[in-house]
Amino acid sequence: MRALFDADADLALIRDRKVAIFGYGNQGRPQALNLSDSGVGELVVALREGSASRARAEADRLGVTNLADAAAWADVAVMLFPDEDQAEVYERHLAPHLKQGAALVFAHGLAIRFGLIVPRADLDVMLVAPKGPGTALRSEYAAGRGLVTLFAVAQDASGGAEALALSYAAALGGGRAGMIETSFAEECEADLFNEAAVIWGAIPELIQAGFDTLVEAGFSPEVAYFECLTEVKLIADLITERGIAGMREAISNTAEFGALEGGRRIVTAETRTEMRRILRDVREGHLAQRLIADAKAGYPRLKASRAEAAAHPIEAAGARLRNLAKP
Ligand code: NDP
Ligand code: MG
Ligand code: MG
């Protein structure tokens, strides 16, 4: 693993460039604000016509431009809008206007990994992926810290792509926590795998299944909620601070014994086989294809899944308990 820090990055590189942030959402806003606070003076937010994000960017005292003008102006164009829209927006608004030798920066490898975007040969193409949500990117930076940030270079037309990627990552605060080298393929595949099979895919299903099992057996939804959902924060804090082995030392022998008996009855050899299948599905590009098909159809599958989650009785239990806690 190659891990680099502030001392390995030259902030002057990004401070000397015109930076256009395309999209002002989860990542766009914190990235723009961190860059600005790191001394990047020539910064614009690039938004589509009639964008709902315009008011927020203007309230943050940032200049707002349309997509094509921003592309023509920028030395560095940063792709911070949904992955499934990136190919179309790049083709229509960026590729025809980007300056010769400009740099294209991504926060996630999907569009490049699966060939949805094939950037012009004269461009530098880099990945700078903070490992965490945008809210944490901003709050950590403001507290003088940063998020671990992955970086990669897919195309180095200028010969300076890596130095510029490190400068950008450091301006986000990544050099305070560690900037770790990866590739577009590794970042993208691992990210999609985890989203599908581990943290975002499996944990919510596991919580709901545990809640359903208790409620079905006659337990009160509130007790089921406390057991199966509230303790997620506890274990998350323990395992991020101490590791899994360290977490085991911090819980009661009773809890530890239950975990030893139950864990592998739930995550079985069959579960691991299914994880490998999900990984294959990700690497062959099927998951990305289905995402794009869903987007083209107006997100019927995403919308149905949101509605299903909202209708699950665990939500009503959660709402009752959150109200209870209010003074
Ligand atoms: P968001 O969904 O928050 O992006 C919303 C922004 O993109 C809005 O400003 C929106 O403008 C604009 N936008 C949406 N569609 C279009 C379009 N078709 N054309 C132009 N602008 C558009 O995205 P995220 O910040 O969640 O993700 C951005 C990138 O960062 C992705 O590559 C993602 O994988 C990556 N990433 C995200 C993380 C996160 O914290 N969410 C973490 C690490 C990486 P409008 O108001 O006009 O709709
Ligand atoms: Mg992701
Ligand atoms: Mg308990």
Which of 21, 22, 24, 27 is the pocket-test mutation for ligand 1 (most atoms within 8 Å of CB)?
Answer: 27
**In the chain, pLDDT over 90 holds for what percent of residues?**
98
**Mean predicted confidence (pLDDT) in 33-61:** 98
Domain ranges of the chain: 3-182, 198-324
Q: Which residues pair with residue 66 across a beta bridge? A: 47
Alpha carbons 197 and 201: distance in angstroms, whole number = 5
Which of 80, 114, 137 is the pocket-test mutation for ligand 1 (most atoms within 8 Å of CB)?
Answer: 80
Give me ligand 3 centre to Cα 34, in Å: 40
C-alpha R_g of the chain: 22
Give me ligand 1 centre to Cα 203, in Å: 24
Burial call 216-247: b when 16+ CB within 10 Å, e when fewer: eeeeebeebbeebbeeeeeeeebeeeeeeeeb
Q: Whose CA is nearest to atom 20 of ligand 1?
A: 48
Which of 21, 22, 24, 26 is the pocket-test mutation for ligand 1 (most atoms within 8 Å of CB)?
Answer: 26
Alpha carbons 133 and 127: distance in angstroms, whole number = 16
Where is the binding site, in residues? 24-27, 48, 51, 53, 134, 191, 195, 227, 231, 252
**pLDDT score at 139:** 98
pLDDT digits (tens, 9 = 90+) for 152-185: 999 999 999 999 999 999 999 999 999 999 999 9
Nearest ligand (C-alpha, residue 136): 1
**pLDDT score at 325:** 72
Q: Is the pLDDT of residue 22 over 80?
A: yes
Q: Of residues 97, 108, 286, 312, which has the active-site annotation? A: 108
Query: Could you tell me if 108 and 126 are in contact, meaning their C-beta atoms sit under 8 angstroms apart?
Result: no
pLDDT digits (tens, 9 = 90+) for 63-100: 999 999 999 999 999 999 999 999 999 999 999 999 99
Number of residues that this document lists for the chain: 327
Strands 124-130 and 149-155: antiparallel
C-alpha 325 chain-centroid distance: 31
Does ipTM top 0.95?
A: yes
SS (H, E, C) the chain: CCEECHHHCCHHHHHCCCEEEECCCCCHHHHHHHHHHCCCCCEEEEECCCCCCHHHHHHCCCEEEEHHHHHHHCCEEEECCCHHHHHHHHHHHHCCCCCCCCEEEECCCHHHHCCCCCCCCCCEEEEEEECCCHHHHHHHHHCCCCCCEEEEEEECCCCCHHHHHHHHHHHCCHHHHCEEECCHHHHHHHHHHHHHHCCCCHHHHHHHHHHHHHHHCCCCHHHHHHHHHHHHHHHHHHHHHHHHHHHHHHCCHHHHHHHHHHHHHHCCHHHHHHHHHHHHHHHCCHHHHHHHHHHHCCCHHHHHHHHHHHHCHHHHHHHHHHHHCCC
**Mean predicted confidence (pLDDT) in 277-303:** 98
Rounded mean pLDDT of the chain?
97
CB atoms under 10 Å from CB of 112, counted, come to 26
CATH number of 3-182: 3.40.50.720
pLDDT band at 324 (very low <50, low <70, confident <90, very high): confident
**pLDDT score at 326:** 75
Ligand 1 nearest atom to the CA of residue 54, by list position: 46
Residues near ligand 1 with C-beta < 6 Å? Answer: 23-28, 47-48, 51-53, 80-83, 85, 89, 107-108, 129-130, 133-134
| Residue 202 zone, left/alpha/beta (φ > 0; ψ -120 to 50; rest) | alpha
Where is the binding site for NADP(+), in residues? 24-27, 48, 51, 53, 134
| 108 classed as catalytic | yes
**Mean predicted confidence (pLDDT) in 45-54:** 98
pLDDT digits (tens, 9 = 90+) for 200-248: 999 999 999 999 999 999 999 999 999 999 999 999 999 999 999 999 9
